[in-house]
Structure 1
């Protein structure tokens, strides 16, 4: 089923980021292979960070294009989300200029709402037909998103508590969700956390009828704390959570 058309809670795979893990994919070919493994395990959307030959994350148009081509060959009809995070290029104007040069476009981008210049990035990509996943890493991000007026132009919201303590992550996810509810924003939500806390955030989200995300960008470990082999194993565990806990 096309993930754009589904009304069911979705399972997203976050394939890499700059995670220090032996299985983290960085080349277009290894990213595509990990995307295929994630999709085979149940992922409906794949999220990725392109890398330059130097091994650094990049917004370079050629690297983005090559990565998108490889993933689309490996995973036809699967929506692809690309990061626009400031950690890749901290200068807002430089980031905007690099993204404006993209020749191959993803289906979606994640756009962290607390970052300087993110409104301009969203406007640029919306104008080119790219859907926006609004990333909310904190209550302040959620409040900024409410005030931005972008909600009715976004595909979904990513609820992304950053604290690694499980209890703290649960509290942060609940607080972000509350801000959205009080503002009447009813966009589909996809929740994830960081490290071991990601799993309790996922379980809470499933019980509340939301989508979830996992993968090496979010956590290198399984629910019991042992190191995951790769994205396929992480997604398989998350698919099990969805099957077990979905209301």
Structure 2
């Protein structure tokens, strides 16, 4: 079964992005009903700011798990939420409600220590590769076998450039003999081109309002579940 990850929220300013635990849980349930089998979440504090604090991460995890029993949940560890590596490590180490997985951007300061700490606690680690440098760094690492999957993220606005980078990163992984499951996504106008390429090649894909706000035909999406349904339709095409 193809992995279809729904990235529900984040820094997007789309009006349909859910932010409270109840909103995120309801949105997650709609995405699972539409065909998503993995969820990627950001937590927010009471003022609507993204947060890595245990209180806020735990609250959203409990709400989503109640609404989507059995669906794996991934939580961000994005450095832009807390840029100081020591402060980020301290915040995440306080998590008592643990996600199934975290997204670990390989180019970020402190990500190795953070990933090792979470792995010791039984959390799966997605190795997120945003650049060729990230890919080369990853294949040189000694802990590749400990990751749950690789997430290839060519975050370029130009569709041709994004697809080219997607292929280059995939090539680095293939040359190094990395056999981990791959999940691919882009951003904005490039997203659907990246997703379409990945689906054709049998890889997992990610869609959601964190990454894009338009459907494949260019019309504006009204909700995350609409993007998931479009991705399901894309993966069903031979």
- TM-score category, normalised to shorter length: over 0.9
Q: Deviations over 1:144-200 (max 9, x none)?
A: 111122210001000000101100000010011011011110100000000121101
CA deviation after TM superposition for structure 1 residue 223, in Å: 1.1
Indicate the SS of the match to 1:82.
strand
Q: How many correspondences in the alignment?
A: 238
Between the aligned partners of 2:200 and 2:129, the Cα distance in structure 1 is 20
Q: What secondary structure sits across from 1:35 in the alignment?
A: helix
Unaligned runs of 5+ in 1: 1-7
Map of 2:127 onto structure 1: 134
Determine which of 23, 27, 46 is the counterpart of 1:30. Answer: 23
Give the structure 1 partner of residue 97 of structure 2: 104
Aligned to 1:4: none
Structure 1 residue 21 corresponds to structure 2 residue 14? yes
Q: SS at 2:197's partner residue? A: helix
| In structure 2, distance between residues paired with 1:197 and 1:149 | 32
Question: Is contact 1:111-1:133 (8 Å) kept?
Answer: yes
Instruction: Give the Cα–Cα distance (whole angstroms) in 2 for the partners of residues 87 and 29 of structure 1.
Output: 24
Aligned counterparts, 1:8-157, within 5 A:
8-157=1-150
3-state SS of the aligned residue for 1:196?
helix
Structure 2 length-normalised TM: 0.99
Distance 2:189 2:230 in 1: 13
Deviation per CA, 1:95-114: give whole Å up to 9, x if none: 00000000100000000001
What secondary structure is seen at the aligned counterpart in 1 of 2:188?
A: coil
What is aligned with 1:173? 166
> 1: CA distance between counterparts of 2:154 and 2:209?
16
Q: CA deviation at 1:235?
A: 0.2
How far apart are the structure 2 equivalents of 1:31 and 1:128? 25
Give the Cα separation in 2 of the matches to 1:84 and 1:172: 23
Aligned to 2:205: 212
> Superposition RMSD on alpha carbons, in Å?
0.7
Taking the aligned partners of 2:55 and 2:189, their CA distance within structure 1 comes to 35
